[in-house]
Structures are given as C-alpha cells and as structure tokens.
Structure 1
Amino acid sequence: MRRTVAEHRAAVAGLLRWSSGYDGGAPELLPLPGALGRALAEDIAAPVSLPPFDNSQMDGYAVHADDLGAPSALLVAEAIPAGSVPPPLEPGTAAPIMTGAMLPDGAAAVVPIERADPAQFHSAADRAAGPVTVRLPGGIDTGLFVRRAGSDIAEGETALPAGTLLGPAQLGLLAACGVGAVRVRPRFRVLLLSTGDEVAEPGTPLAPGAIYDANSTLLEAALREAGAEVARHRLLGDDPAVLRDAFDAIPSGSTHLVLSTGGISQGAYEVVKQALADSSVEFSSVALQPGGPQAHGTISGIPFLGFPGNPVSALVSFEMFLRPALHRLTGIPAPRPVLDAVLVEALESPGAKHQVRRGLYRDGRVALVGGPDSHLLHALAASNCLVHVPVGVAALAAGERVELTLTGPEPADPFAVEDVLVLEDAGTGPATTDGPGTG
C-alpha cells in the first residue's frame, strides 16, 4: 500500500506509543555530569534563591542609603571580598566591594570603581598610613549595580519542569542551585540488526562482491545521539529461517523496539519480508525518495520497524519517522531546526513523491550535495541539512525557496558553490523511481 509521509510518521509514532511498553519507567538517579542529554523525570524546585543574597554586580564601592544624594567624600571602610560576610555599613563610609561579594546591611547601591575619585582602590600601604577617603558622584540611584537575592529564581520556585532536556545551561542552573544529582527518564532501548549476504563487518577482509556494513554504525550513532540505548545484533544473512530464529530469541521486555535495515523492498531476496510473511508487520511504499520501502508492526508484541538497506535511505527514514516519534514519546531528542533557504541551483524531483536531498546550508542559502541517489554516503557526510521537495513539485529553479531540516552546524567559512558542486555525481540525473540506488 502507498502511504504519505505524514501517514507513515503518524503510524510509527502510534506504534511506539502503544506497543513499546515505554512509559518512563523507574527513573535513574544520576550525578549532574552523567545526566547530560537526558530528560528530567520530575520537577526540580530551587532549594536556594539565586542569587542567595544581595551582591555586587561590579568592582566598586558599596554606598550607604544616606549618601546617595550630593557628591561627597566618604571614609573608606574595610574591603569586602567575595565569600565574606561583611559588617553593617555606617553612614558616611564607603566599602570597597568586589564583584559577587555580599552587600553589607545599610548599603543601597554600588558605584563602579571607574566612577570614583581616585579611580582605583587604595593600596594596603595607604590604608596603613591612616584613614583614607574616596569621592563619589551624587545622584546615585538606589539599587545601582546590585543583584537582589532571588532576582534570578526564588527558593521553592520550579527551576526545571519534568521532561526538560538537560544541556549545559540546564545543568549549570542545577549546579548553581546546589543540586548534585537528578532523576532522569530511562533510555529507550533499541535492538538493531542488519541483513544481507553481501555485507561484511568493517575492519575485516572484503570478499569479492561484498560491501562493508555502514548501516549498523550509521543508525547506532543516530540512535545514541537521539538518546537511545542500542544493542547491535550480529550481521544476519539472507536466510529467512535464521532471521525468524533471531526474532524468536528476543527476550520479552528486553527492548522497546527492534529495528532492521534491508530486505523489505521488491527484490527476489527480500529476507525480512519473507521471514515476516505470516506476521502482522505491514510492508508499505511511502511517497518518499529516498526511503520509499518501509515496514512497521509488532513481533511477539515488540514494535518492529524495517528501513531500506541503502545507507542514505536508512538515515532519511530515521530522520523522517523514528527521530520525531522518539521525541514525542520520550522528550529526547530535541526537534531539528526547520529553516527556509534559497536554492543555489535548480533541481528536479518526482512530483508524486516527497524528495529529500542532501544540502549544505549557510547564511540563508543551500547548495545541493550529491544527487538524489541513496548510496551517496560521501555526499551525506559533506552535508549539514536535508532539503525537502514536497509532493506536487517537479522542479525548482535556482533562487527559489525551499524548506530544510538542519542536521549539523553551519560551516565556519563561506562556501564556494563550485566547491560544493564538485561532489555531484555527474552521471546521476534526477531519479524518478525507487529502483536500485534510490530506495
């Protein structure tokens, strides 16, 4: 059956929601460094206020409320370093205070050192010789350069709600609040397997007619980056009986999803299709290029997804279907940024399909990298976005706008269009079928 991209995305999200058994489970207690990239299992209330006390925003002089009016010469009191508890400030005095130091009782403002006369602190020798004074300007506003206690967050307020994805800024906030460990949602577990008599493990000798397995590494990295826990099955050949045995041997409750690549298209040796012929798994054709052949369903109650065997098709399938479903279910990963950009060159697309091209985006422009074929891993590695050509669009001219999903950082230096286009496979025209190399 033929599905739209939206229909299959909804089907994958529903499969994981209703059949994966993932409900958040028992949370894990982790120290802050180990919680990077995880999602909070519960609300975190601030155990202290930030700042916990009124403190100085500048190096300067703490000034008493009675001395904020006319310019005045004030007696210099004892200096207040950060980390100390100062005595109350008396009227007619000004205390040298460092950035972040606690404001003394009676102080109402801080005058930066560069606005004082002299514009530098008195030395220890000056102070030892006798009382010293400082002249400060008048018209100082109450609260000038004072950080009030709780101005960032008050004690007891929610610092981070449940489900928050913990990045450096969030972990820094928790550390500032004195939180040393947090409860996070458990990882979503995926069993990953790859099929094909022709595939070999990287690092082993390559026999004639064989290729190295890129899909397992590609998808494991994508899944781990998306916050999942991945177990890799050994490579499986094209024997349906062996594959059925592998499926039957999966312990109940050991995984939330079984994900395979290859063996689901229209060829004569589609091992996954043969092994699951009598199961509830649906084998669909999605109006997507690359990534048209898809499979989804359950095996012994465990959700199953089958992606095409070509590496680019497998990754596009992950980005289009599985990554959004993981976000909806677990809160991880964060959604990809979706941008609007100007095409550097023209493109053609099968009008009946949603085409996904690899591109290099910078400063509002996107250059296509490689052709539409699904075996072009070098082009995939050189790209930082997926360019979307929707159903109903057969061609776009240079200068027209396209929607893209940003998958990597923008290049640091401006790119020359000719440098990008050198990656194009001159022999690859715009494909219009899901034949070999385009699935």
Structure 2
Amino acid sequence: MRMSAAEWRGWILDRIGRLDAAPLPLELAHGRTLAEQVRSAHDLPLWHSSAMDGYALRAADTAHATAERPVELVVSGEVLAGGSADPAIAPGAAVRIMTGAPVPSAADAVVPVELTAAPGREDPGADPWGRGAVRIEAPVAPGANIRRRGEDVRAGSLLARSGDPLTAARVSALAAAGVAEVRASELPRVAVLVTGAELRPPGAPLARGQIVESNSLLIAGLLRESGIEPSAVRRCTDDVAAVRAQLDELGRGCDAIITTGGVGPGSHDVVRLAVQAEPEVRAARVAVRPGQPQCAGRLASGAWLFALPGNPVSAATSFELFVRPALLACQGRDDPMRPLVPAVAGVGWRGARGRLQLMPVTIDDADADGAGDGSGIRGGRRRLVCRPAVNPRGVSHAVGGHGAVQAYAVAGEDRGDVAAGEPVELLLVGLA
C-alpha cells in the first residue's frame, strides 16, 4: 500500500500509545517529558534584591548630587548575598550590598560601585569601595538596580504544562521556583537490530560484496541524541527464523525495536518475512525519498516495531520522519515534530514529483542579496543557504557524505526539481 509520509506517521502516532509516568526528583528529570502542570512554590525573586554590586541608599539623599558637588554618604554596614541582615539606613547613610543580596527595608535604590567615588582614593586601580564614606556624583532614581519581589514569577504561577520537555533551562527554572519533584514520563526502552548478510563489523577484513556495518552506530547515536540510551544493540544474520527469534526475545523486554534492512518487497527481505504473520504490523510503500519501504506496528510480544530500510541515509531520514516523533509522542510530548526553518537552495538538484523529498545538506549564511559577507547579515536581514552534503544522484546509500549533514532540505510531494535560489525548508539535525 502506498501512503504519504504524513499518513504513515499519523497511522503510527494513532496507535503507539503512552508510557506510564511516575514522580521523579528534579535532579533526575532532565530529558524527560512532564506529565502534570507545575506551578511556582514561591515568588521569584523571593525578596527585593540588588541587581548590582554597589550601595543601597535612600534615593532622596542623592537628589542634588553633581560631579562638581558630590553627595557624601556615611557607609554604615554591608549586606552579602545569602545574608539575612536588614540594617537600618539613616538619612545620609548607605550600606555596601552585593548582587543578589536582599535590599534593606529602609533603602529604595542601589547605585553601582563603579559609579561612585571613595573619598581620598587617588589611584584609579585601587579598591573601589569606600570604607567610611562614599561619594555619589549624580542623582539615583528610586527603584534603580533593584529586582522587585515577584517581578519574574509570582507564587502559584503556571511554569510548565503536561507534555513539555524537561530541558536544562526548564529544570533550572523549576528548581529556582521551589519545585523539588515532578511527575514525568518513563523513557522508552528501545532495542536496535541490524540485518544484512553483506555487513561486517568495523575494522574487519572485507571480501568482494561485503561492506562495513554502520547502521547500529547510526541508530544508537540518533537514539542518544533523542535522550534515549539503547537497551540493546544487536546484529543478525539474514535468516527469517533467526530474525523472528531476536524480535521475540527483544520484544519481551523492550517498548520498541528498531530494525534496519530486509524491509523491502524482495524474496530475501528477512524482516518483512519474519513479521508478515504479525496481525498488527503493517508494511507500506511511503511516498518519501529516500526511505520508501517501511514496516511498523505492535508485535505480539508487546513491543512496537519500526522496520527501516537498510541504506544508511534512508534509515536516518526514516528515523527523523517516523521514529523520533513516535518515541516522543509515547512520552506525552505535545508536538513531537522538529520545527522547519526557511532557507534557499545554493545549488539545484533533481527531484521526484509525487514524493516528499529529504536532501541531506550543509548550511551557509548569506546576506539578503546573496553576496555573503561572512556575517550573514545586511540591513538586519539574514537567510540560510543550503547545499547537498551528498551526490544528489545517489542519496540513500551515501553514508560518507551524510557524515557532514546539518539538516535535511524538505521539498513537498508536488515539488519535483529544486532550482538554485528557490526556497526550501530545513529540518535541522546534527548541529552541535
């Protein structure tokens, strides 16, 4: 059966189901997906705090300060970050204060130390802090350099929703807001099974017709880049019974199995033959280039099967289009697809009308006029220019050139050829 890429992905997403969720200490939650709403436990900041190293003071005391007639204030104390002191500040006084320290209740402004002068200090490189007194040479506005309590987040504010990824930034924000534990999805247990009679391990001697097996490294690496450590990585001979035995064994301990190779319509395509009696597994010809033959569905053992083509680039694009979205969706991710970024083709390539095209590309910057000035910016405008990382005439097997891939240029089923200078959309991958 022939299906569009969107139809095939939709068929998978409709059936793959959701993994269980469980409470997890926040320090162990990075990379997971939230399974609940999370609200702030307290205000951020927790108190009025200083945004600068300087002096906390009464703004009114500086109202008439000038460089010619500076105001001199008595330094009556110090507040450190993490300290709980709330020193009194009499009119005509100030206290030293460090960044993040609570602003004394009697102060309504902070002046940065670099905008002050210390009486008697002649050497510009000397200690900038006034000890007994400090001189202010310009008025300080009320509220200057003070972070107001709750100006970032109020207690009870919604910080994250079910389905949000627990990125480093989000974990940091939750911790700062007083959250110590979250309910998060389990990570899927995923095994990798590579087939192919012609495949030999890296470093092994090669006879005529043999090639180095690299798909296990490719798929395991793509899983790790998706936040999933493979539970098993195996190679299997081109024997239907052996493939079936491996799938049965792996399926009993995994949530999903990814295979490469043996999925086409040929009489020796062992993965397709091994699962043809599985009632919930479906084979399809998907209107995508590369990666047309696909097979997916739930095995009788309970694991989900993603059977991908054996050509490395076909396997990689299939992972991006179908596997990665499904593995994120089963964790509860609301939007499992990578965003597409606009770009233009730096050179043209032949297309295939009627199929979604994914061309492995590298990315350059260019100015809006196409000249390229090294910065990629002119008049505030910037665009990305992409060029094939592989020979466009043989994409699916071009594992060597594919090593430089930074994105896949996506052209729709009705597109056909792509000409130099024409717009394309980039699915960004592999960027450090």
Report TM bin, short chain.
0.7 to 0.9
SS of match in other structure, 2:403: helix
Judged with a 3 Å threshold, the aligned counterparts in structure 2 of structure 1 residues 120 and 342 are, in CA distance, closer, same or farther, namely: farther
Summarize the Cα distance change of 1:263–1:205 in structure 2 as closer, same or farther, 3 Å threshold.
Answer: same
Q: Choose the corresponding residue for 1:39, options 33, 45, 64.
A: 33
Q: Say whether 1:110 aligns with 2:130.
A: no
Could you tell me whether the CA contact under 8 Å between 1:51 and 1:152 is conserved in 2?
yes
Report the equivalent of 1:431.
none
> Secondary structure of 1:12's match?
helix
Higher mean alpha-carbon deviation, 162-171 vs 366-375, is at: 162-171
- Alpha-carbon separation, structure 2, partners of 1:352 and 1:119: 80
Secondary structure at the aligned position of 2:108 is classed as strand
* Corresponding residue for residue 263 of structure 2: 264
1:259: Cα distance to partner?
A: 2.1
Structure 1's 224 and 126: CA in aligned 2 closer, same or farther, altered over 3 A? Answer: closer
Describe the superposition over 1:57-98 as per-residue Cα deviations: whole angstroms up to 9, x where unpaired: 122221226535433443332233333313121122122222
Q: CA deviation at 1:177?
A: 3.6
CA distance 1:63–1:198, shift in 2 (3 Å): same
Confirm or deny that 1:211 pairs with 2:231: no
Amino acid aligned to 2:415: V
- Kindly indicate whether the alpha-carbon contact (under 8 Å) linking 2:113 and 2:128 is maintained by their aligned counterparts in 1: no
Task: Tell me which residue corresponds to 1:376.
Answer: 398
- Conserved in 2, the CA contact under 8 Å of 1:216 and 1:232? no
Match of 1:192 in 2: 192
SS of the aligned residue for 2:41 comes to coil
Q: Deviations over 1:2-28 (max 9, x none)?
A: 1111111111212313xxxx33x1425
Q: Which residue of 2 aligns with 1:396?
A: 418
Deviation at 1:113, TM superposition (A): 2.8
Shift in CA distance, 195/251, structure 1 to aligned 2, threshold 3 Å: closer
Structure 2 gaps of 5+ residues are 66-70, 366-383
Aligned residues: 399
> Partners in 1 of 2:91 and 2:362 — Cα distance?
64
CA distance in 2, matches of 1:116, 1:48: 35
Match of 1:432 in 2: none
Change (3 A) 1:190 1:309: same
Quote the residue 1:318 is aligned against: 319
Deviates further, 159-168 or 103-112? 159-168
Q: Distance between the aligned counterparts of 2:410 and 2:430, measured in 1?
A: 16
- Tell me the distance in 1 between the aligned counterparts of 2:48 and 2:321: 50
Aligned with 1:171: secondary structure? helix
User: Which has the higher mean CA deviation after the structures are superposed, 309-318 or 345-354?
Assistant: 345-354
Does residue 366 of structure 1 match 2:386? Answer: yes
Query: 2:416 & 2:129 partners in 1: Cα distance?
Result: 82
Q: Equivalent residues in 2 for 1:159-178 (5 A)? A: 159-178=159-178
Give the CA deviation at 1:104: 1.0
User: Is residue 146 of structure 2 the alignment partner of residue 146 of structure 1?
Assistant: yes
Q: Give unpaired runs (5+ residues) of structure 1.
A: 411-439
What is the CA–CA distance in structure 2 between the aligned matches of 1:40 and 1:353, rounded to whole Å? 35
Give the C-alpha shift of residue 289 in structure 1: 1.2
Tell me how far 1:144 sits from its aligned partner: 1.1
| CA spacing shift, 1:120–1:331, aligned 2, 3 Å | farther
Aligned ranges 1:6-405 → 2 under 5 Å: 6-17=6-17, 22-23=18-19, 25-27=20-22, 29-30=24-25, 32=27, 34-64=28-58, 66-67=60-61, 69-71=63-65, 72-84=71-83, 85-118=85-118, 127=131, 132=133, 134-138=135-139, 140-179=140-179, 182-232=182-232, 234-250=234-250, 252=252, 254-280=253-279, 281-300=281-300, 301-331=302-332, 335-363=337-365, 364-372=384-392, 373=394, 374-405=396-427
Q: Partners of 1:124 and 1:198 in 2: how far apart?
A: 73
TM-score, with length taken from structure 2 = 0.83
Matched letter for residue 232 of structure 1: A
**Structure 1 length-normalised TM:** 0.82
For residues 120 and 232 of structure 2, what CA distance do their matches in structure 1 show? 64
In the TM superposition, what is the alpha-carbon distance from 1:183 to its structure 2 partner? Answer: 4.2
Does structure 2 retain, via aligned residues, the 8 Å contact 1:349–1:394? yes
Rounded Cα–Cα distance in structure 1 between residues aligned with 2:311 and 2:247:
22
Alpha-carbon contact 2:290-2:357 (below 8 Å) kept? yes
CA distance in 2, matches of 1:238, 1:30: 44
* Alpha carbons 1:188, 1:227 under 8 Å: kept: no
Alignment CA distance shift 1:126-1:361 (3 Å): closer
Deviation at 1:248, TM superposition (A): 3.4
Instruction: State the Cα distance separating 1:319 from its structure 2 match.
Output: 0.6
Structure 1 runs of 4+ off > 6 angstroms? 119-126
Secondary structure, aligned partner of 2:386:
strand
Secondary structure, aligned partner of 1:284: strand
Q: Is the 8 A contact 2:185 2:332 kept in 1?
A: no
CA contact (8 A) 1:3 1:285 kept: yes
The one-letter amino acid paired with 2:417 is: A
CA RMSD of aligned residues (A): 2.8
Determine if contact 1:49/1:177 at 8 Å carries over to the other structure.
Answer: yes
- Counterpart of 1:238 in structure 2: which amino acid? D
How far residue 270 of structure 1 moved from its aligned partner, in angstroms, is 1.0
String of CA shifts for 1:25-74, please: whole Å, max 9, x gaps: 14252452x43322233333333332222111122221226535433443
CA offset at residue 182 of structure 1? 4.4
Partner residue, 2:372: none
Which amino acid counterpart does residue 39 of structure 1 have in structure 2? T
Provide the rounded CA distance (Å) in 2 between the counterparts of 1:305 and 1:408. 22
Specify the code of the residue in structure 1 equivalent to 2:293.
P
